[in-house]
Structure 1
Amino acid sequence: MAARSTRNSHESKSEILKAALEVVRRSGAQSLTMDAVAEESGFSKGGVLYNFPTKDALITGMVEFLAGQFEAEVSAARERNLSSECPTLSAMIEVTEGWLSEQRDLAQAMLATKADRPDLSEPFMGVKSRMKAAIEAELSDRGKAWAIWACLEGLHFSEAHCVTIFTDEERALVFQDLRKRLTQLQD
């Protein structure tokens, strides 16, 4: 349980969302309760409910938080890849590889929640639309770029749906090949 201190509303919400994500990561979506989040975050149940009045509001907040985190990581990786002809796609490869290693169980757990709430795709669709526009501005050969992106999506969704057939080593080879293909795309 986290120690509670004086914090502003944004910090409070962020701490609660991180705690909720940890509950889901550790115990699955079925274990996401306001009581479990309160215990994990160090807030009272009333404090959690003040920030997220319903479980749906909490779940929506979690998805928006994850989408923002993903976009921020892609943005940071893009800055590291500015020498690439397509820094956005380079960043997407880098960040997706990291998320599949570090956030795999979270994606699987959140999938169960999404079944009842198709609107939960909207935050990620906004992020993807912005990435698509950036890639379109960076590359003229979009078909090959979309093929790389589709591969990233396939890897992500097979992990989230628990139907991946690749070992970690095999997945690393796929990422290595995607980087090679991106380099060839730039030549």
Structure 2
Amino acid sequence: MRRDELLDAAECLLQEQGSHALTLSAVAERAGVSKGGLLYHFASKDALVKGMVERLIAEFDALIESQRETTFTRAYLAATFEAVESGRLRRWAVVTGAAGDPELLAPLREALARWHREGLRDEPDPPTSQVVRLACEGVWEVATQCPAAVDYATVHRRLLELL
């Protein structure tokens, strides 16, 4: 789909050159389309960044669903560590770093609130489940900023033990 190709091009630019390089012209050139072709899908740079954030959320939702064998928090934990191992979390840092306007991260704030609400529904010990989900978000941060600082297998195992 052309929309995903445009988002891929934008993410690549961000990863390789930083947020200063994210311009509509550069994304269009990277994707091999005209600027008008890009504007058909994303009317502005803000719309492009919002599209990247929304895609990351949808991908994480899909990871959670693919892991959904018991409780939501166990699925959230499994999805988090799958994202760490696959390198997907580095994309979060790149994309969210490009969002200069806090309003562009509103979909992420809404997703976090939804994930935390969902995590309270089917848990035998809701406070412990919430601690595990919050720890997952700490793992996200470390995995994007200093990935070699953590023994992820040990952390994953200990969080599972808490549940």
- TM-score category, normalised to shorter length: 0.7 to 0.9
**Alignment match, 2:32:** 42
Cα deviation for residue 164 of structure 1 reads 6.1
Pick aligned residue for 2:135 from 131, 147, 151: 151
**Alignment match, 2:126:** 142
Q: Which protein is bigger by CA-based radius of gyration?
A: 1
Contact kept? 1:74, 1:92, Cα under 8 Å = yes
What is the TM-score of this pair, normalised by structure 1? 0.75
| Alignment pair present for 1:56 and 2:46 | yes
**Alignment match, 2:97:** 112
Residue range with higher mean Cα deviation, 57-66 or 22-31 = 22-31
Residues 47-126 of structure 1: pairs in structure 2 closer than 5 A:
47-78=37-68, 81=69, 84=70, 86=71, 88-101=72-85, 102-114=87-99, 116-126=100-110
**Alignment match, 2:149:** 166
Task: Note the residue ranges of structure 1 that are not aligned, 5 or more in a row.
Answer: 1-10, 183-187
Cα deviation for residue 14 of structure 1 reads 2.4
Cα deviation for residue 64 of structure 1 reads 1.2
Contact kept? 1:155, 1:164, Cα under 8 Å = no
CA distance in 2, matches of 1:70, 1:97: 11
**Alignment match, 1:4:** none
Contact kept? 1:21, 1:106, Cα under 8 Å = yes
Cα deviation for residue 148 of structure 1 reads 0.5
Task: Note the residue ranges of structure 2 that are not aligned, 5 or more in a row.
Answer: none
**Alignment match, 1:175:** 156
Cα deviation for residue 152 of structure 1 reads 0.5
Cα deviation for residue 105 of structure 1 reads 3.0
Cα deviation for residue 165 of structure 1 reads 6.8
What is the TM-score of this pair, normalised by structure 2? 0.85
| Alignment pair present for 1:19 and 2:4 | no
Cα-to-partner distance string for 1:96-134 (whole Å, 9 max, x where unaligned): 1122231243233234323x2112332123323332233
